[in-house]
Amino acid sequence: MTQPEILMPALMPGSIVDALEARFTLHRLWEQPDPDAFLAGAAPHIRGVAANTLAGRIDTNWFDRLPALEIVASFGVGYDNVDARAAAARGIVVTNTPGVLDDEVADLTIGLLLATLRGIPQADRFVREGRWPEGPFPLSPTLRGRTVGIIGLGAIGKAVARRLEGFDVPVAYHGRSRQPDIPYTYHPTPVALAAAVDVLIAIVPGGDATRHLIDRDVLAALGPQGVLINVARGSVVDQPALIAALKEGTILAAGLDVFADEPHVPSELRVMPRVVLLPHIGSASERTRAAMGALVVDNLVAWFDTGRPISPVPECDRLP
Protein backbone atom coordinates (compact mmCIF):
# COMPACT_ATOMS: atom_id res chain seq x y z
CA MET A 1 0.00 0.00 0.00
CA THR A 2 1.31 3.47 -0.90
CA GLN A 3 2.17 5.60 2.11
CA PRO A 4 0.37 8.95 2.43
CA GLU A 5 2.56 11.85 1.39
CA ILE A 6 3.22 14.57 3.98
CA LEU A 7 4.71 18.00 3.35
CA MET A 8 6.93 19.70 5.92
CA PRO A 9 7.42 23.29 4.69
CA ALA A 10 10.03 24.31 7.30
CA LEU A 11 12.45 22.57 9.62
CA MET A 12 10.84 20.93 12.65
CA PRO A 13 12.39 18.98 15.56
CA GLY A 14 14.27 15.85 14.54
CA SER A 15 11.95 13.61 16.53
CA ILE A 16 9.02 14.71 14.34
CA VAL A 17 11.00 14.24 11.14
CA ASP A 18 12.14 10.75 12.14
CA ALA A 19 8.70 9.62 13.29
CA LEU A 20 6.96 10.91 10.16
CA GLU A 21 9.52 9.33 7.85
CA ALA A 22 8.86 5.99 9.55
CA ARG A 23 5.14 6.15 8.75
CA PHE A 24 4.77 8.37 5.67
CA THR A 25 6.48 9.65 2.57
CA LEU A 26 7.83 12.93 3.91
CA HIS A 27 8.73 15.87 1.67
CA ARG A 28 11.15 18.36 3.26
CA LEU A 29 10.34 21.49 1.32
CA TRP A 30 13.03 23.66 2.94
CA GLU A 31 15.74 21.38 1.56
CA GLN A 32 14.62 21.79 -2.05
CA PRO A 33 16.80 24.07 -4.24
CA ASP A 34 13.65 25.27 -6.04
CA PRO A 35 10.71 24.84 -3.63
CA ASP A 36 8.12 26.16 -6.08
CA ALA A 37 9.18 23.81 -8.84
CA PHE A 38 9.28 20.86 -6.43
CA LEU A 39 5.86 21.70 -5.04
CA ALA A 40 4.36 21.99 -8.51
CA GLY A 41 5.26 18.35 -9.14
CA ALA A 42 4.49 16.94 -5.69
CA ALA A 43 1.37 18.96 -4.82
CA PRO A 44 -1.25 16.63 -6.35
CA HIS A 45 -0.13 13.80 -4.07
CA ILE A 46 0.28 15.65 -0.76
CA ARG A 47 -2.44 14.73 1.73
CA GLY A 48 -1.03 16.19 4.94
CA VAL A 49 1.06 19.13 6.14
CA ALA A 50 3.16 19.24 9.32
CA ALA A 51 3.84 22.89 10.10
CA ASN A 52 5.25 25.27 12.67
CA THR A 53 5.43 29.06 12.68
CA LEU A 54 8.64 28.97 10.62
CA ALA A 55 6.51 27.79 7.70
CA GLY A 56 4.70 31.12 7.62
CA ARG A 57 0.95 31.32 7.34
CA ILE A 58 -0.82 28.24 6.00
CA ASP A 59 -3.85 29.71 4.25
CA THR A 60 -5.81 29.67 1.01
CA ASN A 61 -2.63 30.14 -1.02
CA TRP A 62 -1.46 26.77 0.27
CA PHE A 63 -4.88 25.15 0.04
CA ASP A 64 -5.19 26.20 -3.61
CA ARG A 65 -1.82 24.60 -4.39
CA LEU A 66 -2.54 21.34 -2.54
CA PRO A 67 -5.75 19.93 -4.04
CA ALA A 68 -5.48 16.59 -2.19
CA LEU A 69 -4.81 18.12 1.24
CA GLU A 70 -6.78 16.55 4.09
CA ILE A 71 -5.05 17.67 7.30
CA VAL A 72 -2.71 20.34 8.67
CA ALA A 73 -0.99 19.28 11.90
CA SER A 74 0.28 22.43 13.60
CA PHE A 75 3.10 22.38 16.17
CA GLY A 76 1.88 24.48 19.11
CA VAL A 77 -1.26 25.20 21.07
CA GLY A 78 -1.66 28.51 19.26
CA TYR A 79 -2.58 28.03 15.62
CA ASP A 80 -2.92 31.58 14.30
CA ASN A 81 -0.33 30.53 11.70
CA VAL A 82 -3.09 28.45 10.05
CA ASP A 83 -6.32 29.82 8.56
CA ALA A 84 -8.47 27.24 10.29
CA ARG A 85 -11.78 28.68 9.11
CA ALA A 86 -10.71 28.56 5.47
CA ALA A 87 -9.43 25.03 6.01
CA ALA A 88 -12.68 23.87 7.59
CA ALA A 89 -14.67 25.38 4.72
CA ARG A 90 -12.76 23.07 2.38
CA GLY A 91 -13.09 20.02 4.63
CA ILE A 92 -9.45 20.20 5.71
CA VAL A 93 -8.81 19.29 9.35
CA VAL A 94 -6.45 21.43 11.43
CA THR A 95 -4.94 20.08 14.64
CA ASN A 96 -2.81 21.65 17.34
CA THR A 97 -1.01 20.44 20.47
CA PRO A 98 -3.05 21.44 23.55
CA GLY A 99 -2.65 20.05 27.03
CA VAL A 100 0.92 18.81 26.77
CA LEU A 101 2.41 22.28 27.26
CA ASP A 102 0.02 23.83 29.81
CA ASP A 103 2.18 23.27 32.87
CA GLU A 104 5.40 24.32 31.16
CA VAL A 105 3.94 27.64 29.99
CA ALA A 106 2.32 28.24 33.36
CA ASP A 107 5.64 27.63 35.15
CA LEU A 108 7.42 30.02 32.81
CA THR A 109 4.71 32.64 33.35
CA ILE A 110 5.23 32.62 37.10
CA GLY A 111 8.99 32.79 36.61
CA LEU A 112 8.65 35.74 34.26
CA LEU A 113 6.33 37.50 36.68
CA LEU A 114 8.76 37.14 39.59
CA ALA A 115 11.73 38.07 37.40
CA THR A 116 9.97 41.22 36.27
CA LEU A 117 8.79 42.33 39.70
CA ARG A 118 11.98 41.54 41.60
CA GLY A 119 14.41 42.51 38.84
CA ILE A 120 16.11 39.10 38.84
CA PRO A 121 17.89 39.46 35.45
CA GLN A 122 18.99 42.98 36.41
CA ALA A 123 20.34 41.73 39.74
CA ASP A 124 22.26 38.98 37.94
CA ARG A 125 23.87 41.58 35.65
CA PHE A 126 24.62 43.75 38.70
CA VAL A 127 26.71 40.96 40.20
CA ARG A 128 28.35 39.87 36.93
CA GLU A 129 29.41 43.43 36.14
CA GLY A 130 31.20 43.73 39.48
CA ARG A 131 28.97 46.51 40.76
CA TRP A 132 28.04 44.96 44.12
CA PRO A 133 31.12 46.31 45.98
CA GLU A 134 29.97 49.80 44.98
CA GLY A 135 26.76 49.45 46.98
CA PRO A 136 23.61 47.37 47.38
CA PHE A 137 21.25 46.53 44.55
CA PRO A 138 18.21 48.87 44.50
CA LEU A 139 15.05 47.74 46.25
CA SER A 140 12.49 46.16 43.96
CA PRO A 141 8.69 46.13 43.69
CA THR A 142 6.93 43.11 45.17
CA LEU A 143 4.17 40.63 44.48
CA ARG A 144 2.90 41.14 48.00
CA GLY A 145 -0.32 43.14 48.19
CA ARG A 146 -1.06 42.83 44.49
CA THR A 147 -4.06 41.46 42.65
CA VAL A 148 -3.33 39.53 39.47
CA GLY A 149 -5.60 39.64 36.45
CA ILE A 150 -5.54 37.00 33.72
CA ILE A 151 -6.84 37.74 30.24
CA GLY A 152 -7.78 34.36 28.84
CA LEU A 153 -8.75 31.77 31.44
CA GLY A 154 -8.32 28.72 29.26
CA ALA A 155 -6.34 25.64 30.24
CA ILE A 156 -3.05 27.53 30.54
CA GLY A 157 -4.71 30.48 32.25
CA LYS A 158 -6.23 28.16 34.83
CA ALA A 159 -2.83 26.52 35.39
CA VAL A 160 -1.34 29.98 36.01
CA ALA A 161 -4.17 30.83 38.42
CA ARG A 162 -3.63 27.63 40.42
CA ARG A 163 0.02 28.51 40.86
CA LEU A 164 -0.84 32.03 41.93
CA GLU A 165 -3.08 30.64 44.66
CA GLY A 166 0.07 29.25 46.24
CA PHE A 167 1.44 32.78 46.43
CA ASP A 168 -1.65 33.89 48.38
CA VAL A 169 -2.61 36.68 45.99
CA PRO A 170 -6.13 37.45 44.72
CA VAL A 171 -6.84 36.45 41.11
CA ALA A 172 -9.34 37.96 38.68
CA TYR A 173 -9.97 37.28 35.00
CA HIS A 174 -11.52 38.38 31.75
CA GLY A 175 -12.69 36.17 28.91
CA ARG A 176 -15.42 36.03 26.33
CA SER A 177 -17.87 35.04 29.05
CA ARG A 178 -18.05 34.30 32.76
CA GLN A 179 -17.15 30.68 33.52
CA PRO A 180 -19.33 28.74 35.96
CA ASP A 181 -17.77 27.27 39.09
CA ILE A 182 -14.68 29.51 38.79
CA PRO A 183 -13.83 31.13 42.14
CA TYR A 184 -12.04 34.15 40.67
CA THR A 185 -13.65 37.55 40.11
CA TYR A 186 -14.84 38.08 36.54
CA HIS A 187 -14.61 41.40 34.70
CA PRO A 188 -16.54 41.93 31.47
CA THR A 189 -13.89 43.93 29.59
CA PRO A 190 -10.07 44.11 29.48
CA VAL A 191 -10.23 47.73 30.67
CA ALA A 192 -12.36 46.79 33.66
CA LEU A 193 -9.98 43.97 34.58
CA ALA A 194 -6.90 46.18 34.21
CA ALA A 195 -8.45 48.84 36.45
CA ALA A 196 -9.07 46.25 39.18
CA VAL A 197 -5.61 44.63 39.27
CA ASP A 198 -1.93 45.44 39.68
CA VAL A 199 -0.58 42.70 37.38
CA LEU A 200 -2.09 41.83 34.02
CA ILE A 201 -1.17 38.48 32.42
CA ALA A 202 -2.11 37.88 28.78
CA ILE A 203 -2.58 34.23 27.79
CA VAL A 204 -5.11 34.31 24.94
CA PRO A 205 -4.82 32.92 21.40
CA GLY A 206 -3.46 35.15 18.67
CA GLY A 207 -5.37 36.14 15.54
CA ASP A 208 -7.67 38.90 14.41
CA ALA A 209 -10.10 38.44 17.31
CA THR A 210 -7.46 39.36 19.90
CA ARG A 211 -5.28 41.76 17.90
CA HIS A 212 -4.31 44.70 20.14
CA LEU A 213 -6.70 43.48 22.82
CA ILE A 214 -4.32 45.19 25.23
CA ASP A 215 -4.16 48.74 23.93
CA ARG A 216 -3.49 52.23 25.24
CA ASP A 217 -6.74 52.31 27.23
CA VAL A 218 -6.03 49.00 28.95
CA LEU A 219 -2.50 50.10 29.84
CA ALA A 220 -3.79 53.40 31.21
CA ALA A 221 -6.29 51.50 33.36
CA LEU A 222 -3.52 49.24 34.67
CA GLY A 223 -1.83 52.32 36.07
CA PRO A 224 1.61 53.56 37.18
CA GLN A 225 2.25 50.63 39.52
CA GLY A 226 0.94 48.08 37.03
CA VAL A 227 2.92 45.23 35.49
CA LEU A 228 2.13 43.56 32.18
CA ILE A 229 3.15 39.96 31.46
CA ASN A 230 2.60 38.72 27.92
CA VAL A 231 2.99 35.00 27.25
CA ALA A 232 0.28 34.93 24.57
CA ARG A 233 1.17 36.35 21.15
CA GLY A 234 2.88 39.59 20.25
CA SER A 235 -0.19 40.66 18.29
CA VAL A 236 -2.30 40.69 21.46
CA VAL A 237 -0.53 43.83 22.69
CA ASP A 238 -0.34 47.14 20.84
CA GLN A 239 3.46 47.21 20.97
CA PRO A 240 3.96 50.92 20.18
CA ALA A 241 1.38 51.76 22.86
CA LEU A 242 3.25 49.54 25.33
CA ILE A 243 6.58 51.23 24.56
CA ALA A 244 4.96 54.63 25.07
CA ALA A 245 3.35 53.50 28.34
CA LEU A 246 6.69 52.29 29.70
CA LYS A 247 8.52 55.45 28.61
CA GLU A 248 5.89 57.74 30.10
CA GLY A 249 5.43 55.81 33.34
CA THR A 250 1.85 54.90 32.50
CA ILE A 251 2.75 51.41 33.77
CA LEU A 252 5.65 50.29 35.92
CA ALA A 253 7.15 47.29 34.15
CA ALA A 254 6.64 44.51 31.63
CA GLY A 255 7.74 40.92 31.16
CA LEU A 256 7.49 39.80 27.54
CA ASP A 257 7.97 36.37 26.00
CA VAL A 258 6.40 37.35 22.67
CA PHE A 259 6.68 40.28 20.28
CA ALA A 260 4.96 41.80 17.27
CA ASP A 261 7.68 40.92 14.74
CA GLU A 262 9.65 38.00 16.13
CA PRO A 263 12.59 37.56 16.33
CA HIS A 264 12.99 41.33 15.96
CA VAL A 265 12.59 43.23 19.24
CA PRO A 266 12.49 47.03 19.20
CA SER A 267 15.60 48.71 20.57
CA GLU A 268 13.40 50.81 22.86
CA LEU A 269 12.36 47.67 24.73
CA ARG A 270 15.86 46.22 24.81
CA VAL A 271 17.28 49.21 26.70
CA MET A 272 14.46 49.73 29.20
CA PRO A 273 15.54 48.91 32.78
CA ARG A 274 12.15 47.64 34.00
CA VAL A 275 11.49 45.22 31.16
CA VAL A 276 12.37 41.51 31.08
CA LEU A 277 12.60 40.01 27.60
CA LEU A 278 12.51 36.33 26.65
CA PRO A 279 12.87 34.76 23.18
CA HIS A 280 9.42 33.09 23.02
CA ILE A 281 10.36 30.14 25.23
CA GLY A 282 7.07 29.50 27.04
CA SER A 283 6.99 25.82 26.09
CA ALA A 284 10.67 25.48 25.18
CA SER A 285 11.84 22.65 27.36
CA GLU A 286 13.16 19.41 25.90
CA ARG A 287 10.45 17.35 27.59
CA THR A 288 7.53 19.51 26.52
CA ARG A 289 8.69 20.07 22.95
CA ALA A 290 9.10 16.29 22.61
CA ALA A 291 5.52 15.80 23.82
CA MET A 292 4.28 18.46 21.39
CA GLY A 293 6.12 16.77 18.53
CA ALA A 294 4.67 13.39 19.44
CA LEU A 295 1.15 14.86 19.32
CA VAL A 296 1.79 16.31 15.86
CA VAL A 297 2.77 12.83 14.68
CA ASP A 298 -0.08 11.12 16.53
CA ASN A 299 -2.64 13.43 14.92
CA LEU A 300 -1.40 12.55 11.45
CA VAL A 301 -1.23 8.84 12.21
CA ALA A 302 -4.71 8.85 13.74
CA TRP A 303 -6.17 10.71 10.78
CA PHE A 304 -4.80 8.35 8.17
CA ASP A 305 -5.48 5.23 10.26
CA THR A 306 -8.96 6.06 11.57
CA GLY A 307 -10.16 9.27 9.92
CA ARG A 308 -10.38 10.94 13.34
CA PRO A 309 -7.65 13.28 14.62
CA ILE A 310 -6.77 13.45 18.31
CA SER A 311 -6.86 17.21 18.85
CA PRO A 312 -8.73 19.12 16.13
CA VAL A 313 -9.02 22.86 16.68
CA PRO A 314 -12.53 24.17 17.45
CA GLU A 315 -13.13 25.37 13.90
CA CYS A 316 -12.67 21.80 12.67
CA ASP A 317 -14.09 19.68 15.50
CA ARG A 318 -17.32 18.96 13.60
CA LEU A 319 -15.51 17.57 10.59
CA PRO A 320 -15.25 13.75 10.32
Q: Using one digit for the tens of pLDDT, what is the confidence trace for 92-101?
A: 999 999 999 9
pLDDT (tens digit per residue) in 60-98: 999 999 999 999 999 999 999 999 999 999 999 999 999
CA nearest neighbour of 248 among 271, 276, 219? 219
Dist CA 153 CA 174 (whole Å): 7
pTM (2 decimals)? 0.92
Sequence-ordered list of residues with C-beta below 8 angstroms from that of 195, at least 6 positions apart, any chain = 221, 222, 223
Residue-level pLDDT at 318? 75
- Structural contact between residues 183 and 207, judged by C-beta atoms closer than 8 angstroms: no
Catalytic residue status for 104: no
- Structural contact between residues 292 and 52, judged by C-beta atoms closer than 8 angstroms: no
pLDDT band at 2 (very low <50, low <70, confident <90, very high): confident
pLDDT band at 159 (very low <50, low <70, confident <90, very high): very high
Task: Give the residue-averaged pLDDT of 152-181.
Answer: 96
Dist CA 125 CA 137 (whole Å): 11
Active-site choice (28, 65, 211, 280): 280
pLDDT band at 269 (very low <50, low <70, confident <90, very high): very high
Whether residue 319 has pLDDT greater than 90: no
Catalytic residue status for 233: yes
| Strand order, beta sheet including 25-28 | 25-28, 5-8, 46-51, 71-74, 93-95
Torsion of CA 102, 108, 110, 113, to 10 degrees: -140
Q: What element of type H or E holds 109? A: helix 102-118
| Residue range(s) of every CATH 3.40.50.720 domain in the chain | 5-100+287-316, 102-277
Whether residue 1 has pLDDT greater than 70: no
Dist CA 105 CA 230 (whole Å): 11
Three-state secondary structure call for residue 7: strand
pLDDT (tens digit per residue) in 217-266: 999 999 999 999 999 999 999 999 999 999 999 999 999 999 999 999 99
Dist CA 151 CA 139 (whole Å): 29
Dist CA 104 CA 66 (whole Å): 35
Residue-level pLDDT at 317? 78
Three-state secondary structure call for residue 58: strand
- Structural contact between residues 73 and 292, judged by C-beta atoms closer than 8 angstroms: no
Catalytic residue status for 280: yes
Active-site choice (31, 248, 262, 308): 262
Can you give the C-alpha Rg of the chain in angstroms? 22
| Strand order, beta sheet including 253-256 | 185-186, 171-174, 148-151, 199-202, 227-230, 253-256, 275-277
Whether residue 146 has pLDDT greater than 90: yes
* Residue 218: how many other CB atoms lie within 10 Å: 29
The chain-wide mean pLDDT, for the chain, equals 96
Dist CA 87 CA 310 (whole Å): 17
pLDDT (tens digit per residue) in 199-221: 999 999 998 999 999 999 999 99
Dist CA 295 CA 310 (whole Å): 8
φ, ψ for residue 69, nearest 5 deg: -65, 135
Dist CA 278 CA 299 (whole Å): 30
Burial of residue 257 (CB within 10 Å: 0-12, 13-18, 19+) is buried
- Beta bridge mates, 199: 148, 227
5-100+287-316: what fold? Answer: Rossmann fold (3.40.50)
* Residue 265: how many other CB atoms lie within 10 Å: 17
Three-state secondary structure call for residue 163: helix
Active-site choice (47, 174, 233, 289): 233
Task: Give the residue-averaged pLDDT of 7-16.
Answer: 95
pLDDT band at 320 (very low <50, low <70, confident <90, very high): low
Domain spanning 102-277, CATH class: alpha beta
